[in-house]
Structure 1
């Protein structure tokens, strides 16, 4: 009898436990927000768009300056990024792999917001605004994939290993898309985005129609689609003419936005990635100084870019670097180094157009001379004996014009040219003077964690 009573109570207790467990399993998680609650209205969509913009930073600028012939590693720097500067990085080096995750987080935010937008039924003014948001999201998706491609493609040509192009938020293990597949998908997103963004929308901290043209021009340059590069560069130039000589210095202190097509807005009081705080550690230690090779390319008297980009400080004596990067330092003592990041400028568009014209037909010399006339006092137009001489001049002008804007390493890679430093610039680089195109480090590695987890992907050659 006791046994039967015991069995009865065991059965009742088991049912209670099972019922309680089922109830717990039905509880809504409290540490995440479901999509139907995350994107309830047009304001929520805007927050999603802003979440993607928030991941625009200067990480690429720092890496490109470090691994190319754009910056040097002074003797006084005993703590910073020596693996990147000395070309000792590998798949476990965060200095060159961290952007991989940053960009894919941005892309995931974009895809989640697009899905949330698709689920909403909007009318009137909200529907009009939603159309622009969709355009911004599609353009941002193209941009971040393009940045991934610039950083992690094995090379910039058909058949080369690219990166997975993600069009939806999902936990999957994709193989790497080839270079041309990523380019095609980015181009499709940009073509879809452009008509959705009205010409009247002019916020330079977000993607405008002119910014889409600028992205298309840069993408076409990497694709070697010369006709498209010229067309889209012309569109951007028409929207934003070159800064005047009087305006140009103010671009780098945020005194004006002349010829800035798209910028990443930075606010606050400090920023450890760029300007005074990227190139100089607390305490005045210079981490990365402008390379002597770069300094030597400027007409120090007449070129407006020299004082805007580079500062000479004679009071820094002994082993301390007297040359400092002046770009991004900013115009206030309370927020040094917080100048907005210029993602696209008209100066770049002139150089894209000149290079594309030199490779096809057109007045490449005219565009190059026009840019130099805008930057150099007393400049006399140059002539060029042949195409190789003209191409070399355009690449050197990119070296000067776009210094510390995140292009030099990729420009050399586009042209299959080695990185070659002056001996003076490699004094603290353990002999890292030349990076040949056959060395593994000529392409940044896919992160080791990605290779370990995703069995569908492969590493770049020679790592």
Structure 2
């Protein structure tokens, strides 16, 4: 199945070079012309779905779960002064040039099509092409509805991610400028203006609601690498959580379990069982995309974060591996190589619901969800009693951090939590001073700069303040 995914992705990539429109025309010179709903569903895998890549895999360098400085390692030379540490220095220290060059001065975005920004829009283009043509395909209405729902849901996820990279947090300033919205596959000759954060979220919600209305009446299909009904509701629950629409977030999370969502008992897993982020995990509703932390064998989890795990927490036992040469725990939970590495799973629905219920004052319901999850994660766990709203909210958020560590959640969550101050330690080389770099509260870098090459391509795009800051200096 994975081989088929990569073959379809490669075919779609080649065809996209000659434009989706030409590919979809009846008179195309290609031997492969999508005509049936099944054809379009397979085309969507390559042209709309992310396969084994993740353009935003740099985000984990910027949050508070990673530490380049190995003061507690037997051999800090593994990281300090290493090429990998230097290359990613700009991300790790929140430098304004991070969108254009890497830490050793090599241009990383001279070609706008190579940027994470453009890679997401390329996939959006693929979704748009399918949406424009699926109604004219051969097949039953149910088949067409499924393909349309998938394209809408996947496009919504891409816009949601882009908005949380290049726009201000929704709960901070929904009227601020965000990213351009493009809902057609045709080439636009004029500059594309930016929509506001609120307008992007409106499209995301609209697409997800339409996707769920199309797909909910259909049979639920699992473990076929396509997004399904529970996964769509997980996404909706997440988006509503970010919008602080608590009741709507709870309602969408409830639908996940009404549609058969399960919670895996991780206490029964063997160490490094390889079943956590795969379809072998009963709670995984959708498996997709590439690794969110490509260098998990190099970069060290922050010691303060690791200390938050209970000693009997299966997520720690299964998700981290002690390196005998350095005596340091490194992340091992993520798949490697060409394996798909990201999931939408029902444990998120549980935590979304718990957090939203705390905000609604439904502390009993929130505490039940928290205890139910912990019982499935921590061996010998005894239910806690928490009656204070502030304490319970923090407990739920701490659980979310541990549950989804290094899976691309933390940076987005920090933004909606109020953009708190973060500090990173960095040592340029052994023997040099250990410098402290600070991301201040509400720092402009919580909204990343657009690559210069992208702005040159679209003159209507206004650079974010983070791209106009002076270099950040360590103390």
Superposition TM-score tier, normalisation by shorter sequence: 0.7 to 0.9
Q: CA deviation at 1:419?
A: 4.5
Q: Distance in 2 between matches of 1:359 and 1:403?
A: 23
Secondary structure of 1:340's aligned partner: coil
Asked whether 1:177 is paired with 2:195, we answer yes
Question: Which residue does the alignment assign to 2:368?
Answer: 366
1:232-271 alignment to 2 at 5 Å? 232-238=252-258, 239-244=260-265, 245-246=267-268, 250-252=274-276, 254=278, 256-264=280-288
| Structure 1: 5+ residue stretches without partners | 1-29, 267-272, 281-285, 330-335
Larger displacement relative to structure 2 (89-98 or 229-238): 89-98
Q: CA, structure 1 residues 432+171, in 2 after alignment: closer, same or farther (shift >3 Å)?
A: farther
2:400 is the alignment partner of 1:431: no
CA drift of 1:421 comes to 4.3
8 Å contact 1:265–1:340 — kept in the other structure? yes
Q: Deviation at 1:54?
A: 4.3
> Does residue 160 in structure 1 map to residue 176 in structure 2?
yes
Question: Where does structure 2 lack aligned partners over 5 or more consecutive residues?
Answer: 1-16, 27-32, 70-76, 103-107, 468-475
Q: CA deviation at 1:87?
A: 1.4
Deviations, residues 261-283 of structure 1 (Å, cap 9, x unaligned): 211177xxxxxx567x6323xxx
Which of 313, 332, 336 is the matching residue for 2:323?
313
Q: In structure 2, how many angstroms separate the alpha carbons of the residues matched to 1:347 and 1:134? A: 26
* Superposition pairs of residues 39-58 of structure 1, within 5 angstroms: 39-57=34-52
Of 180-189 and 338-347, the range deviating more from structure 2: 338-347
The 5 A counterparts of 1:258-407 are: 258-264=282-288, 273=291, 278-280=295-297, 286=298, 288-300=299-311, 302-314=312-324, 316-317=325-326, 322-329=328-335, 336-362=336-362, 363-407=365-409
Higher helix share: 1
1:204 is displaced (CA, Å) by 4.8
Moved more, 220-229 or 338-347: 338-347
CA offsets per residue over residues 27-50 of structure 1, 9 Å max, x none?
xxx956443234333343123211
CA contact (8 A) 2:231 2:345 kept: no
Residue 193 (structure 1) aligned to one of 202, 205, 211: 211
**Alignment partner of 1:251: what SS?**
coil
SS at match of 1:364: helix
In 2, Cα distance between equivalents of 1:118 and 1:255? 31
SS of the equivalent of 2:287 reads strand
User: Is 1:446 aligned to 2:464, yes or no?
Assistant: no
Compared with structure 1, are the counterparts of its residues 389 and 455 closer, same or farther at alpha carbon in structure 2 (3 Å cutoff)? same
Question: Aligned Cα RMSD in Å?
Answer: 2.8
Tell me which structure has the larger Cα radius of gyration. Answer: 1
In the other structure, the counterpart of 1:146 is 160
In structure 1, the residue corresponding to 2:295 is in which secondary structure?
A: helix
The 3-state SS of whatever aligns with 1:311 is strand
Where does residue 457 of structure 1 map in the other structure? 461
Q: CA 1:454–1:254 in structure 2 vs 1: closer, same or farther (change >3 Å)?
A: closer
Residue aligning to 2:234: 214
Distance in 2, Cα, partners of 1:213 & 1:274: 22
- The Cα of 1:62 is off from its aligned counterpart by 3.2
CA 458–31 in structure 1, closer or farther in 2 if over 3 Å, else same: closer
CA distance in 2: counterparts of 1:392 and 1:252, whole angstroms: 25
- Alignment pair present for 1:128 and 2:142: yes
Deviations 1:206-244 (A, max 9, x none): 111111111101111111110111011111133212101
Q: Closer, same or farther in 2 for the Cα pair 1:435/1:56, shift >3 Å?
A: farther
Query: CA offset at residue 61 of structure 1?
Result: 6.5
* 2:62 corresponds to: 67
- Whole-Å separation in 1 of the counterparts to 2:53 and 2:239: 19
* Closer/same/farther in 2, CA of residues 421 and 251 from structure 1, 3 Å limit: farther
Separation in 2, partners of 1:114, 1:203: 23
Partners of 1:59 and 1:258 lie apart in 2 by: 24
Whether 2:103 is the aligned partner of 1:99: answer no
Contact 2:277 2:343 (C-alpha < 8 Å) held by counterparts: no
CA distance in structure 1 between the partners assigned to 2:224 and 2:300 by the alignment: 30
Change (3 A) 1:387 1:361: closer
Following superposition, the deviation at residue 88 of structure 1 comes to 1.6
